[in-house]
Amino acid sequence: MDKYVMILAIITKLTLEQRGNDVDYCKIRCPDNTKDKQRHTVCSLKHNCEKGPKCKNYLNVPFTESEKHEIVDTHNYLRNSVALGKAECTTLDSELFPSASNMREIVWDKELEFLAQCWANQCINEHDPCRHKFYGDLDAGQNRIWTSSNSIHEQLYRFFNECENITVRQIETYQGNPKNDPKIDRFTQMVWWNTSQIGCARIQHIRADSADFFHVTCNYASAGNYRGEPVYNQGKPCSQCPVDTKCLSTYKGLCATEPSKSKVPNICKFAADKKKCVPYLGLVKNEKQEITAPKVNYCEKMHFCNNKPHTVCQLRHNCEKSPKCKRFTKSLLSMSEKREILEIHNELRSRVAFKGNLVTKNRERLPKAANMRELVWDEELEFLAQCWANQCPEFHDECRTKSDQMQTGQNMAWATLTLSPGKSVEKFFNEYVNISNIKLIDHFFDQPFPKIIGHFTQLVYWNTTQVGCGRSRYILPRKKSISTLLVCNYAWTGNYKGMKVYEKGKPCSNCPRGSKCHRKYPGLCTTPPSKSVMPNICPFSKNPKCEPILKNPGINGEPPFQPKLPESKLPKLVRDKSGGNLIEVSLLITICSFCFILLSCIYYTK
């Protein structure tokens, strides 16, 4: 009886609009498949779509509504870039991608999400053979990925990056994955002209043959990758849109698509074991979880900065996306990316403190440090950084003090193309070459543009012990293009005029009491882990839908990132190019033994 009540409770969470038909998938087949693959996946599973017997340490990690929007927006952004002939990629034959005359907008579809969840729950490392839709009677394609990163942006770009393996001829006539060559099928499904619906699912479980443990499955309708057909028609964007459709105003290369009318199907009527079947597969809106983090009212005067209200107070305790943001994607940092940021910060601080071999443009050698401390990750700094990143800013926020009264510094970096967080941190560090007078280490002072040094001095400030970062993607008005922003907050803050950046002397000779020289990072004094946690601002928010902006705050849960910075090779010098308060630079980085990609970044500090 209790189990029945529990199942009934799950059903009642669904609105009438969400509840779909009783669907017998044994009556739905895939006629285009070979005879042995025409039977529908759900039918083969006897209408039991819960966790499969092959799953070990299984955990369902459903996408939130904001993540679903991110998946759709990222797909449409990338499809639009191809359709306009402006893809951030060239073909295998070094040609630009031709523009598309008939590429359609993608929208979210509940049945595709259901079918993706059903198959993902089986923990089987291959595509399911038949996933034909009941609603609309459409065949569905599929992309899958196993990864240790939980970054949606990173996962989808791994699909898209197959663009460099395809030729223009293969766009004109799709022939499948070339034999013995890198794959192209995930990219071609992603940009197939007539694909207009998507639904994805995510689980986590242990694989015996791989360290990757997030499994993402995305289903697409109508399916793509039909041999002998074009991936898309070449021509003027939107010149061959379906009847009664027109170009989108937001994506000017895509033909508009009506919202999907699919619903979440109920398969329990046809399940072999009706007692175990959960109606609608539990695809319900998650109930708001009770937030146990400490409540923080940032509008209390104790959190003000020189009588200026705290940033979170000015935002009325609403740290979600700002209404002014255009083409916004939250792009939360994954655990591995946060570890990368922390590792590289400490690696670079150790170089300054222990080696003493960095030379400025004026050929002055930076001294070793006697009191430089290790950095640890801080959840509240991460929260404050993500809160500000969600506002799509063009400048620093003025008051970001922690709830424990620690004053906070900030570095910000923009990249117009995909750039790893670690590369942004290296860009901060590169400013050491601009130090015009080594006396600045003893008495900090600002240097006039273009000899900016503030990123570097904040990064290596001796008494900074905590860091936390956030990330977002949006159209940066001054660039008029999509940019990725990385915000890193530091406590204590550095860059105090007239104060030492660090104390010169033998490494670790003046560590704080109770601290000792770090084994992993020579020259750094050890720092205990931060006790800060992500604050709960919802009791004070004007947003009735307030919820935590970080899914997985902190850096626990994944193996440590291994830094890729060789001891013998310092980051390359990047010279300043523009005037004003911003620096525009170009960085040439190696992506393989034989090829390079030019990346453009913008960044500044406070």
The pLDDT tens digits of the residues spanning 86-111 come to: 998 999 999 999 999 999 999 999 99
Question: Does a structural domain hold residue 492?
Answer: yes
**Confidence at residue 465, expressed as pLDDT on a 0 to 100 scale:** 96
Assign 211 a pLDDT band (cuts: 50, 70, 90): low
Separation CA 210–CA 422 (nearest Å):
24
Q: Looking at mean pLDDT, say which of 142-151, 217-226, 325-334 comes out highest.
A: 217-226
**Confidence at residue 172, expressed as pLDDT on a 0 to 100 scale:** 95
Chain CA centroid to CA 532, Å? 23
Assign 57 a pLDDT band (cuts: 50, 70, 90): confident
> What CATH number does residue 404 fall under?
3.40.33.10
Do 344 and 389 belong to one domain?
yes
**Confidence at residue 155, expressed as pLDDT on a 0 to 100 scale:** 83
The arithmetic mean of pLDDT across residues 536-545, rounded, is 90
Domain count within the chain: 2
160 pLDDT above the threshold of 90: yes
Give the pair of three-digit tokens for residue 594: 């034989």
Q: Looking at mean pLDDT, say which of 269-283, 437-451, 577-591 comes out highest.
A: 437-451
Query: Final residue of a domain: which of 230, 261, 277?
Result: 277
Q: What tens digit of pLDDT does each residue of 319-337 get?
A: 999 999 988 877 888 888 8
62 pLDDT above the threshold of 70: yes
Determine contact, residues 373/528, Cβ cutoff 8 Å: no
The arithmetic mean of pLDDT across residues 122-147, rounded, is 92
**Confidence at residue 280, expressed as pLDDT on a 0 to 100 scale:** 62
Instruction: Give Cβ neighbours of residue 101 (< 8 Å, ≥ 6 apart).
Output: 232, 233, 234, 235, 236, 237, 238, 239, 240
Do 372 and 517 belong to one domain?
yes
The arithmetic mean of pLDDT across residues 428-457, rounded, is 90
Compute the C-alpha angle 547/552/556, nearest 5°: 155
Q: What tens digit of pLDDT does each residue of 70-88 get?
A: 899 999 999 999 999 999 8
Write down the pTM of the prediction: 0.53
Least confident of 144-148, 254-258, 290-294, 581-585: 581-585
The arithmetic mean of pLDDT across residues 20-29, rounded, is 90
The arithmetic mean of pLDDT across residues 338-359, rounded, is 94
546 pLDDT above the threshold of 80: yes
| Per-chain mean pLDDT for the chain | 84
Question: Does a structural domain hold residue 33?
Answer: no
The arithmetic mean of pLDDT across residues 174-189, rounded, is 87
Do 323 and 263 belong to one domain?
no
Do 505 and 551 belong to one domain?
yes
Give the pair of three-digit tokens for residue 387: 């809160």
SS3 assignment, position 541: coil
Compute the C-alpha angle 376/419/587, nearest 5°: 110
Helices (H) then strands (E): counts for the chain: 12, 13
- The tally of CA atoms less than 13 A away on the side-chain side of residue 60 is 20
Give the pair of three-digit tokens for residue 339: 């570890």
Question: Whole-angstrom distance between the N-terminal and C-terminal Cα of the chain?
Answer: 61
Element (H, E) at 312: helix 311-314
Do 207 and 61 belong to one domain?
yes
Determine contact, residues 365/351, Cβ cutoff 8 Å: no
- Judging by DSSP bridges, how do beta strands 264-266 and 19-22 pair with one another? parallel
Do 249 and 361 belong to one domain?
no
Which residue carries 């695809």 as its tokens? 283
Assign 209 a pLDDT band (cuts: 50, 70, 90): low
Separation CA 602–CA 196 (nearest Å):
35
The arithmetic mean of pLDDT across residues 254-266, rounded, is 93
Query: Final residue of a domain: which of 277, 311, 328?
Result: 277
DSSP 241: P
**Confidence at residue 571, expressed as pLDDT on a 0 to 100 scale:** 37
Which residue carries 């990132």 as its tokens? 561
What percent of the chain clears pLDDT 90, i.e. is strictly above it?
Answer: 59
The arithmetic mean of pLDDT across residues 346-371, rounded, is 94
Do 360 and 457 belong to one domain?
yes
Compute the C-alpha angle 578/584/588, nearest 5°: 125
Rounded to the nearest 10 degrees, what angle do helices 335-350 and 421-429 cross at?
A: 20
- Judging by DSSP bridges, how do beta strands 214-221 and 141-147 pair with one another? antiparallel
Question: Does a structural domain hold residue 197?
Answer: yes
Element (H, E) at 107: strand 107-108
Question: Does a structural domain hold residue 2?
Answer: no
Do 371 and 461 belong to one domain?
yes
DSSP 282: G
Q: CA torsion sign, 75 to 78 to 83 to 89?
A: negative
Question: Does a structural domain hold residue 9?
Answer: no
Element (H, E) at 584: strand 583-590
189 pLDDT above the threshold of 70: yes
Do 167 and 54 belong to one domain?
yes
Do 196 and 253 belong to one domain?
yes
570 pLDDT above the threshold of 50: no
What is each CA distance from 567 to 140, 186, 354, in whole angstroms?
A: 49, 37, 12
Do 115 and 173 belong to one domain?
yes
The arithmetic mean of pLDDT across residues 5-25, rounded, is 58
What domain range is 569 assigned to? 301-605
Question: Does a structural domain hold residue 502?
Answer: yes
Do 210 and 352 belong to one domain?
no
DSSP 48: -
- Spatial CA neighbour of 65 closest among 557, 418, 547, 487: 547
Characterize 416-436 residue by residue with b for buried, 16 or more Cβ atoms within 10 angstroms of its Cβ, and e for exposed.
Answer: bebbbbbbbbbbbbbbbbbbe
Torsion of CA 114, 116, 121, 126, to 10 degrees: 160
282 pLDDT above the threshold of 60: no
Give the pair of three-digit tokens for residue 23: 């669907």
**Confidence at residue 139, expressed as pLDDT on a 0 to 100 scale:** 93
Which residue carries 């601080």 as its tokens? 349
565 pLDDT above the threshold of 50: no
Q: Looking at mean pLDDT, say which of 1-5, 28-32, 191-195, 599-603 comes out highest.
A: 191-195
Least confident of 337-351, 372-386, 560-574, 577-591: 577-591
Separation CA 47–CA 266 (nearest Å):
10
449 pLDDT above the threshold of 50: yes
